[in-house]
Amino acid sequence: MKSLNLTLTQELEVSRRQAEKATEEARLRMDEARRLATDMEGRVKLLGDLERELAALEGERDEALLSLQEARQAMQAQAQERTTLEAAVAEAKRALADSLSEEERLAGELESSKDEAAALRRTVDTLQGERDVLAQQVASLTAERAELLEARKALEAVHRALSQAVSR
Protein backbone atom coordinates (compact mmCIF):
# COMPACT_ATOMS: atom_id res chain seq x y z
CA MET A 1 0.00 0.00 0.00
CA LYS A 2 2.84 2.23 0.62
CA SER A 3 3.84 1.84 -2.85
CA LEU A 4 0.35 2.62 -3.93
CA ASN A 5 0.36 5.66 -1.67
CA LEU A 6 3.69 6.69 -3.00
CA THR A 7 2.46 6.30 -6.51
CA LEU A 8 -0.71 8.17 -5.72
CA THR A 9 1.26 10.89 -3.93
CA GLN A 10 3.53 11.21 -6.90
CA GLU A 11 0.58 11.32 -9.27
CA LEU A 12 -1.10 13.85 -6.98
CA GLU A 13 2.08 15.93 -6.97
CA VAL A 14 2.25 15.74 -10.78
CA SER A 15 -1.43 16.61 -11.01
CA ARG A 16 -0.97 19.52 -8.57
CA ARG A 17 1.97 20.83 -10.62
CA GLN A 18 -0.06 20.45 -13.80
CA ALA A 19 -2.98 22.23 -12.11
CA GLU A 20 -0.68 25.07 -10.99
CA LYS A 21 0.79 25.22 -14.44
CA ALA A 22 -2.72 25.20 -16.01
CA THR A 23 -3.83 27.91 -13.56
CA GLU A 24 -0.77 30.01 -14.41
CA GLU A 25 -1.46 29.49 -18.10
CA ALA A 26 -5.14 30.39 -17.55
CA ARG A 27 -4.08 33.55 -15.67
CA LEU A 28 -1.65 34.42 -18.51
CA ARG A 29 -4.37 33.76 -21.07
CA MET A 30 -6.81 35.97 -19.12
CA ASP A 31 -4.20 38.75 -18.99
CA GLU A 32 -3.60 38.22 -22.69
CA ALA A 33 -7.36 38.27 -23.30
CA ARG A 34 -7.69 41.56 -21.34
CA ARG A 35 -4.74 43.00 -23.24
CA LEU A 36 -6.29 41.81 -26.54
CA ALA A 37 -9.68 43.26 -25.52
CA THR A 38 -8.00 46.62 -24.80
CA ASP A 39 -6.12 46.28 -28.04
CA MET A 40 -9.37 45.47 -29.87
CA GLU A 41 -11.09 48.53 -28.38
CA GLY A 42 -8.20 50.66 -29.62
CA ARG A 43 -8.43 49.00 -33.00
CA VAL A 44 -12.22 49.49 -33.10
CA LYS A 45 -11.66 53.19 -32.38
CA LEU A 46 -8.88 53.29 -34.99
CA LEU A 47 -11.14 51.44 -37.44
CA GLY A 48 -13.88 54.05 -36.86
CA ASP A 49 -11.35 56.82 -37.48
CA LEU A 50 -10.11 55.01 -40.59
CA GLU A 51 -13.69 54.55 -41.85
CA ARG A 52 -14.33 58.29 -41.48
CA GLU A 53 -11.03 59.04 -43.22
CA LEU A 54 -11.85 56.48 -45.92
CA ALA A 55 -15.24 58.14 -46.47
CA ALA A 56 -13.48 61.52 -46.82
CA LEU A 57 -10.94 59.99 -49.20
CA GLU A 58 -13.72 58.36 -51.23
CA GLY A 59 -15.38 61.79 -51.53
CA GLU A 60 -12.08 63.29 -52.71
CA ARG A 61 -11.61 60.33 -55.06
CA ASP A 62 -15.10 60.84 -56.52
CA GLU A 63 -14.33 64.53 -57.08
CA ALA A 64 -10.97 63.62 -58.63
CA LEU A 65 -12.63 61.03 -60.89
CA LEU A 66 -15.22 63.58 -61.99
CA SER A 67 -12.46 66.08 -62.67
CA LEU A 68 -10.49 63.40 -64.54
CA GLN A 69 -13.54 62.51 -66.61
CA GLU A 70 -14.05 66.16 -67.52
CA ALA A 71 -10.34 66.46 -68.40
CA ARG A 72 -10.55 63.34 -70.56
CA GLN A 73 -13.60 64.71 -72.38
CA ALA A 74 -11.75 67.96 -72.98
CA MET A 75 -8.71 66.03 -74.22
CA GLN A 76 -10.90 63.96 -76.55
CA ALA A 77 -12.46 67.12 -77.92
CA GLN A 78 -8.99 68.59 -78.43
CA ALA A 79 -7.80 65.34 -80.05
CA GLN A 80 -10.77 65.41 -82.43
CA GLU A 81 -10.11 69.05 -83.26
CA ARG A 82 -6.43 68.25 -83.77
CA THR A 83 -7.34 65.34 -86.05
CA THR A 84 -9.65 67.62 -88.03
CA LEU A 85 -6.94 70.28 -88.29
CA GLU A 86 -4.31 67.70 -89.29
CA ALA A 87 -6.65 66.41 -92.00
CA ALA A 88 -7.19 69.99 -93.22
CA VAL A 89 -3.43 70.62 -93.22
CA ALA A 90 -2.81 67.35 -95.07
CA GLU A 91 -5.46 68.29 -97.64
CA ALA A 92 -3.91 71.75 -98.03
CA LYS A 93 -0.47 70.15 -98.48
CA ARG A 94 -1.89 67.81 -101.14
CA ALA A 95 -3.57 70.74 -102.87
CA LEU A 96 -0.31 72.72 -102.71
CA ALA A 97 1.65 69.76 -104.08
CA ASP A 98 -0.94 69.36 -106.86
CA SER A 99 -0.72 73.09 -107.62
CA LEU A 100 3.06 72.98 -107.69
CA SER A 101 2.96 69.91 -109.92
CA GLU A 102 0.48 71.63 -112.23
CA GLU A 103 2.65 74.78 -112.21
CA GLU A 104 5.72 72.72 -113.13
CA ARG A 105 3.77 70.95 -115.88
CA LEU A 106 2.49 74.28 -117.26
CA ALA A 107 5.98 75.80 -117.01
CA GLY A 108 7.33 72.81 -118.95
CA GLU A 109 4.58 73.17 -121.54
CA LEU A 110 5.28 76.92 -121.78
CA GLU A 111 9.00 76.28 -122.24
CA SER A 112 8.22 73.62 -124.83
CA SER A 113 5.82 76.02 -126.58
CA LYS A 114 8.48 78.75 -126.55
CA ASP A 115 11.01 76.34 -128.05
CA GLU A 116 8.46 75.21 -130.63
CA ALA A 117 7.56 78.84 -131.44
CA ALA A 118 11.25 79.69 -131.86
CA ALA A 119 11.69 76.65 -134.12
CA LEU A 120 8.61 77.68 -136.11
CA ARG A 121 9.97 81.26 -136.45
CA ARG A 122 13.24 79.86 -137.75
CA THR A 123 11.29 77.63 -140.14
CA VAL A 124 9.17 80.62 -141.26
CA ASP A 125 12.33 82.69 -141.78
CA THR A 126 13.88 79.84 -143.77
CA LEU A 127 10.69 79.37 -145.80
CA GLN A 128 10.45 83.14 -146.43
CA GLY A 129 14.04 83.09 -147.65
CA GLU A 130 13.29 80.11 -149.89
CA ARG A 131 10.05 81.80 -151.07
CA ASP A 132 11.98 84.95 -151.93
CA VAL A 133 14.53 82.86 -153.87
CA LEU A 134 11.71 80.97 -155.62
CA ALA A 135 9.90 84.24 -156.34
CA GLN A 136 13.08 85.57 -157.93
CA GLN A 137 13.46 82.34 -159.89
CA VAL A 138 9.80 82.50 -160.98
CA ALA A 139 10.26 86.12 -162.02
CA SER A 140 13.44 85.21 -163.86
CA LEU A 141 11.77 82.19 -165.49
CA THR A 142 8.72 84.28 -166.37
CA ALA A 143 10.98 86.86 -168.02
CA GLU A 144 12.92 84.09 -169.76
CA ARG A 145 9.66 82.52 -170.94
CA ALA A 146 8.49 85.87 -172.27
CA GLU A 147 11.81 86.18 -174.10
CA LEU A 148 11.48 82.64 -175.40
CA LEU A 149 7.92 83.36 -176.57
CA GLU A 150 9.21 86.46 -178.34
CA ALA A 151 12.05 84.44 -179.80
CA ARG A 152 9.60 81.74 -180.88
CA LYS A 153 7.37 84.29 -182.53
CA ALA A 154 10.39 85.75 -184.25
CA LEU A 155 11.53 82.27 -185.29
CA GLU A 156 8.06 81.42 -186.57
CA ALA A 157 8.04 84.69 -188.49
CA VAL A 158 11.44 83.85 -189.99
CA HIS A 159 10.23 80.34 -190.73
CA ARG A 160 7.13 81.69 -192.45
CA ALA A 161 9.20 84.15 -194.40
CA LEU A 162 11.52 81.37 -195.50
CA SER A 163 8.59 79.17 -196.46
CA GLN A 164 7.12 81.99 -198.50
CA ALA A 165 10.47 82.73 -200.05
CA VAL A 166 10.94 79.09 -201.00
CA SER A 167 7.46 78.82 -202.41
CA ARG A 168 8.09 81.76 -204.65
Mean of pLDDT over the chain = 92
Q: Evaluate if residue 168 carries a pLDDT over 80.
A: no
Q: Looking at residue 8, what is its pLDDT?
A: 79
Q: Tens of pLDDT along 91-115?
A: 999 999 999 999 999 999 999 999 9
Distances in Å between the Cα of 140 and the Cα atoms of 30, 105, 121, 129, 149 are: 154, 51, 28, 16, 14
For position 114, what pLDDT does the model report? 96
Q: What angle do CA 39, 57, 77 make, to 5 degrees?
A: 160
Amino acid 3: pLDDT:
82
For 89-130, give the secondary structure using H, E and C.
HHHHHHHHHHHHHHHHHHHHHHHHHHHHHHHHHHHHHHHHHH
